[in-house]
Structure 1
Amino acid sequence: MSSEKLDLLSRHSLFIVEPTSQHTHTFIFLHDLGSNGEEFSHQLLETGTCSDGRKLPEVFQGARFIFPTAKSRRSSAYGQAKLTQWFDIASLDDPWHQSQTQLMGLVESTREILKLVNEEVQVLKIPRSNIIIGGHGHGCAMALFCLLALDFPLGAFIGMSGWLPFQPDIEQLLNYEDEIDKFTDYPFSFFRSTHDEEPRDPAIDVVEYSRDLVCFPNPIKDATSIATPIFLGHSDLDEKVKHSFGENASTTLSSIGYNVTWKSYRNQGHWYKMPDEIDDIVDFMQHRVDKGSGNT
């Protein structure tokens, strides 16, 4: 199949809400397991309201909202049934179980999402500092992995009810100075020798590890996405993605060096809390992203 045809198929999987004023910012939001871009768009943009009654397109009038749809894949967690998912997971209770099943989807989805980011920058001339990525549930996890694999910062990250893929491996990586004394052959080949004079930057280790998983080249001049501010929200009664998964993701990302805003919401299941979480997202955006978004 030609690359032109692949691009056409990719375009058909996008649901886009254009800005109502001059285009200054772009949000790329990823849907949850089994959903699709159009459905998530309607749920987030039409029902997600602030306490003053405004919806996100009204608050960010200069923003373009892009909602891709994941590829339909066989699900290990659902008895090999086909459903839309960014990558396969073997267990909903333990999303790090048999992590090798995730790699094929992570590679394909990361490339597609980063292609969207690059198109906004190169074709539409939107600054990287005005591009925001994020998602809900499974989509939050996918977007977090993309963020870690980036060798440049974005304007912001917005995650709801998600988890951090490969978190146990990343935590082991962050603690490698303690662990290296226990093992002669440490599994991460890119580590410097313990005799190196300069200490390792944990953000560089993580971006190299993440890019290695999806077969990307190492970043040039040790570049990372560490300057990207992160918002993570999670509800205490989430029955699909444990509240502790989101909280632990926040802790690990902070350990890497990211500036993380963590919000916990009471008496809510696997969805965003209204209007509280929408208010918090708007406040986060208005204080941390470049001016010129067309806010009212």
Structure 2
Amino acid sequence: MEHPQLHIHHPEANHTHTAILLHGRGSDGPEFAEELFSSTTSREKNLTACLPGWRWVFPTAGDRWSTTFQEEMCTWFDAYSLGDIQEKQELQADGIKESATYILDILENEIALLGGKHTHVYIGGISQGMATTIWTFLGAVATGRIQGPLGGVLGFCGWFPYAQQLGDLVQKSDLSDGVGSPQMQRLLSGFFFDTLFHKAPQPSQPPDTSVMSTPVFLSHGTDDDWVSVELGRQASRVLRKALLHVEWNEFTGAEGDGHWIKEPEGFDQILQFLERPPQKS
């Protein structure tokens, strides 16, 4: 699939970190960047002013047929229903596979730009962008393309496609080593390849188990009219069964019918997460 050119906000000082952030369904990279940077923290500065050494990368999804709306839309994958995310969920797999592979390519490039400092690169997204971010991270866990923990994974007002299937798989599995273990990594790897490729794992190189220590930040409005907070809570619960560091935050009263990040409190939380020292590999 053809993707529009990346929208990049270049660092205002020496480049030290990169954040790759994914828009929601029907939006695009430039629009998401404009909305994100028009919001401020309690320091009365936006994220770029608070983090002058950061490079901000906003990919745009390709146009894809929406079964729900019966038209081409700028969307990461075809999601039939957010009322019941399991309804016709087989429609999601091809788009998730294609989009996660595309974002993994960008992730590798950004790590290379920083001289291999994987802990200085973050991925995140809002709404369907959060859903795609989670699956991109599963791809990093499964394929061995990322050798070490990322700086972090961020998700806002979104959900986790196939969350129930992964939760059931973890529940049924005999994982003596538990959360964040090599056993769990093998389970996530199998789940990634089975769900998206319908075949056994074929990693490009042996996965690095330290990627499992990547911290995850999730937040969601309890009054979100577009994506129920229950879907965000489900994502948090399932990821906490698998990963070592998953942070969950709720808020109320954000703009956009609750389907946005609360200002300034939510942006303060994001900034605190981004300013933490990186996990050691």
More deviation in 214-223 or 161-170? 214-223
Residue 138 of structure 2 aligns with an amino acid whose one-letter code is L
Gapped regions of structure 1 (runs ≥ 5): 1-5, 179-191, 193-198, 292-296
Query: Which residue of structure 1 aligns with residue 188 of structure 2?
Result: 206
Trace 1:208-247 onto structure 2 (pairs within 5 A).
Answer: 208-215=190-197, 217-218=202-203, 220-224=205-209, 225-247=211-233
- Structure 1 CA distance for aligned equivalents of residues 278 and 36 of structure 2: 20
Residue 202 of structure 1 aligns with an amino acid whose one-letter code is M
Structure 2 residue 76 is matched with structure 1 residue 90: no
- Structure 2 CA distance for aligned equivalents of residues 200 and 23 of structure 1: 33
TM-score by length of 1: 0.82
Greater radius of gyration (CA) = 1
Q: Which residue, out of 38, 42, 55, partners 2:46?
A: 55
Structure 2 residue 151 is matched with structure 1 residue 155: yes
TM-score by length of 2: 0.86
Whether contact under 8 Å (1:38, 1:67) holds in the other structure is yes
Q: Which residue, out of 224, 249, 253, partners 2:235?
A: 249
Whether contact under 8 Å (2:79, 2:91) holds in the other structure is yes
- Structure 2 CA distance for aligned equivalents of residues 92 and 210 of structure 1: 21
Residue 267 of structure 2 aligns with an amino acid whose one-letter code is I
Q: Aligned pair count?
A: 262
Structure number with the bigger relative contact order (C-alpha 8 A, sep ≥ 6) is: 1
What secondary structure does 1:175 align onto? helix
Q: Which residue, out of 266, 272, 276, partners 1:277?
A: 266
- Structure 2 CA distance for aligned equivalents of residues 219 and 15 of structure 1: 29
What secondary structure does 2:173 align onto? helix
Structure 2 residue 22 is matched with structure 1 residue 40: no
- Structure 2 CA distance for aligned equivalents of residues 111 and 30 of structure 1: 14
- Structure 2 CA distance for aligned equivalents of residues 29 and 165 of structure 1: 18
Return closer, same or farther for 1:93/1:58 CA change in 2, 3 Å cut-off. same
What is the deviation of 1:214?
Answer: 3.5
More deviation in 270-279 or 100-109? 100-109
Q: Which residue, out of 152, 165, 171, partners 1:169?
A: 165
- Over the matched positions of the two proteins, sequence identity in percent amounts to 31
Query: Which residue of structure 1 aligns with residue 178 of structure 2?
Result: none
Gapped regions of structure 2 (runs ≥ 5): 176-180
Whether contact under 8 Å (1:110, 1:146) holds in the other structure is yes
What is the deviation of 1:63?
Answer: 0.7
* CA deviations over 1:118-143 (Å, ceiling 9, x no partner): 11123452511111000000101100
Whether contact under 8 Å (2:218, 2:236) holds in the other structure is yes
Whether contact under 8 Å (1:28, 1:132) holds in the other structure is yes
What is the deviation of 1:173?
Answer: 1.0
More deviation in 201-210 or 23-32? 201-210
More deviation in 23-32 or 145-154? 145-154
